[in-house]
Amino acid sequence: MFGLPETFLQLGFVEDFIAAYRWVWPLSEVLHFIGLILLVGIVTIVDLRLLGVAKRMPVAPLQKLLPWALLGFTLCVVTGLLFVTGLWANVKTHPLEAIRYDYFLQLKLAFIGLAGINLLAYYQTGMARAMEGLGAGDDAPPRAKVVAGASLILWIGVVYWGRLIPWGL
Amino acid sequence: MIEILTALEDSGFSMMVKESSTAYVAVLAFHTIGLAFLVGISGAIAMRILGAARSMPLEPMQDFFPLMYTGLLINVVTGVVLFCLYPTNYATDLAFYIKLGAIVVAVVSLRKLSALLFESGADADAAAETKRAKVLAITLLVVWLIATTAGRVTAYTVPTKLATAGAVAVFMTLALVIGYAVGRQMGWIGSSKQSA
């Protein structure tokens, strides 16, 4: 009955991969954790600096850490897609049902979306480039603090809702 | 010993948390947030010592240590609560002891790294270039990987635990080798102290 993918969210080859090797799912969980550690760890450092912690840190060299946060985010997206598209192989729930009924998953996706909009605002308004000029001891302007505070709360929220997803299925 | 653990497992506190799924998952979620602070920030410092974001001064990173230790505190508290729920399971699980051992080594390494960078009287960025700093940074990253993996596989059967440990080791080795080769090719990894 479910030999063919019901929706683009459910992928037979991912299910087969998960079913074929017992380590696929837990390895992906470990990589999802490594990704969140990289992402949230680095985002926390940068956001707190803009909020006034470790003000003696110049912002430009600190932002050199951000590609590693992006790598962490990529790891989380790839493994997250594996969890969704191959969900049936692990918990016998269809991905579409999970998206429809798991409100923790919905909250997590909404928080990621908001964090994305927040980041877009940070780069589109030229704030990111302006922050490059913040040297040791310089205070970030209030609007940058709002963006940094929102980012911090949203990403911690993403981890919180994410950890609850299995209980919403 | 097993009587004590069983009594703990059946205690009012343990039953209360287990039966309240809200409390249980909140404790689990905070365990992950504490981990992100402690492992994420200390991991970033270790990566900086090993060559990431080379132009970033290390001295100001000292200001993030209180947050890291807050993360550690959150995880000790939530960890003790989680242990109280199923003590007989954890106490008989080798992966759990590996995780605890790895965390002890990680915290000791972090303390030593902090002393070397910030309390030796020398400049932190110069101290980061010493072999001792690099060894401590590598140790920290390896034991955090072991602790995270061992913690994550707790819920699985022994054959799955072993298969996953093998898969993580193979994956990380491949990622490092390929990452190094690509980094060299792209010029992201310099021969010595150039700003990255």
- pLDDT tens digit string along A4-27? 556 678 999 999 999 999 999 999
What pLDDT shows up at residue A8? 76
B63 at interface of A, judged by CB pairs closer than 8 A: yes
- pLDDT tens digit string along A125-168? 999 889 999 999 999 999 999 999 999 999 999 999 999 999 98
Residues of A with CB under 8 A from a CB of B: 21-24, 26-27, 29-31, 33-34, 36-42, 44-45, 48, 53-58, 60-62, 64-65, 68, 136, 156, 159-160, 162-164, 167
Residue B30, token pair as written in the block: 């905070």
Residue A64: C-alpha distances to residues A99, B61, B62, B138 (Å): 35, 14, 18, 20
In the predicted model, is pLDDT for residue B38 greater than 80? yes
8 A C-beta contact, residue B50 and residue B113:
no
8 A C-beta contact, residue B34 and residue B74:
yes
- pLDDT tens digit string along A65-92? 999 999 999 999 999 999 999 999 999 9
What are the E-state strand segments in chain B? none
B107 at interface of A, judged by CB pairs closer than 8 A: no
| Helices of type H across B50-122 | 65-85, 87-91, 94-118
B47 at interface of A, judged by CB pairs closer than 8 A: yes
d(CA A100, CA A56) in angstroms, rounded, equals: 47
Chain B: nearest CA to A15, how far in angstroms? Answer: 17
In the predicted model, is pLDDT for residue B72 greater than 60? yes
8 A C-beta contact, residue B136 and residue B109:
yes
**To the nearest whole percent, how much of chain B has pLDDT over 70?**
96
User: B49 φ, ψ to 5°?
Assistant: -65, -35
Close Cβ partners of A117 (under 8 Å, ≥ 6 residues apart): none
Q: For B35-63, give the DSSP string.
A: HHHHHHHHHHHHHHHTTTTTTS-SGGGGG
Chain B: nearest CA to A18, how far in angstroms? Answer: 12
Chain B: nearest CA to A61, how far in angstroms? Answer: 5
- Mutation site for A-interface testing, chosen from B20, B22, B33, B68 by largest number of A Cβ within 10 Å: B33
8 A C-beta contact, residue A53 and residue A89:
no
d(CA B156, CA B162) in angstroms, rounded, equals: 10
What pLDDT shows up at residue A6? 61
Q: Report CB contact under 8 Å: A29, B171.
A: no
- pLDDT tens digit string along B99-139? 999 999 999 999 999 999 999 888 999 999 999 999 999 99
Q: Report CB contact under 8 Å: A53, B64.
A: yes
d(CA A127, CA B71) in angstroms, rounded, equals: 30
What pLDDT shows up at residue B54? 93
Q: What is the mean pLDDT of residues B65-83?
A: 97
B33 at interface of A, judged by CB pairs closer than 8 A: yes
pTM of the model: 0.93
- Mutation site for B-interface testing, chosen from A25, A33, A43 by largest number of B Cβ within 10 Å: A33
What pLDDT shows up at residue B17? 83
In the predicted model, is pLDDT for residue B57 greater than 80? yes
d(CA B141, CA B113) in angstroms, rounded, equals: 12
| Option in B43, B63, B156 nearest A54 (CB) | B63
What is the value of ipTM here, to two decimals? Answer: 0.92
Q: Report CB contact under 8 Å: B29, A36.
A: no
| Option in A39, A48, A159 nearest B32 (CB) | A159
